[in-house]
Every structure is written in C-alpha cells, then in structure tokens.
Amino acid sequence: MRRFFDIVLETHLPHLVKDELLEDVDGSLMQRYWLDGKMIRVYNSNDIRSVYIDSEVELEPYFRDKSREKTPLAE
C-alpha cells in the first residue's frame, strides 16, 4: 500500500525517483528519493511518532499555490 507522503511527493515533484525503503529495528521507515541528483529523505519515526523530511532540495516552491484538489489522498 502506498503511504500518504509517497502520493503527495510523487504528485508535486516531477522527475522524482524513488529509492529503496529502509526499515529500522523498531519499525521506523526511511524512504529515499532523488530529484535532479539531490536526495530527499522521508522519515516515519515510531520512536517519536512523527513523519519528517530531510531534503537537499528546496521543496516549498513545489507546493506553493497548489490547490488541495490536486493532491490525491491515500487510500
């Protein structure tokens, strides 16, 4: 099943390349993506129960002025 952050990133970032999904011993996930040779990491931490993004790419311009209707929701 695709996760919400997969759907949002893949919808708004053209040419995004999905890399391997890594799983920690506590079940936390780290998904790596590549965009124009720069890495984007999405962490889904079970330890602190949050999702956060560490990116070498400035992401805000891709989401600025986007309507909610253009972002599909996860099943």
- Enumerate the H helices of the chain as residue ranges: 4-12, 60-63
For 72, which DSSP code?
P
Using CA atoms in the order 53, 56, 59, 62, what is the torsion angle rounded to 10 degrees?
A: -130
More confident residue, 51 or 4: 51
Mean pLDDT over all residues of the chain? 81
Given a cut of 50, whether residue 75 has pLDDT beyond it is no
Q: Which burial class, exposed, middle or buried, applies to 10 when counting CB atoms under 10 A from its CB (0-12, 13-18, 19+)?
A: middle
Going by the DSSP 8-state scheme, the letter that residue 74 receives in this structure is: P
**pLDDT, tens only, 17-42:** 999 889 999 888 899 999 999 999 99
pLDDT > 90 in the chain, percent: 24
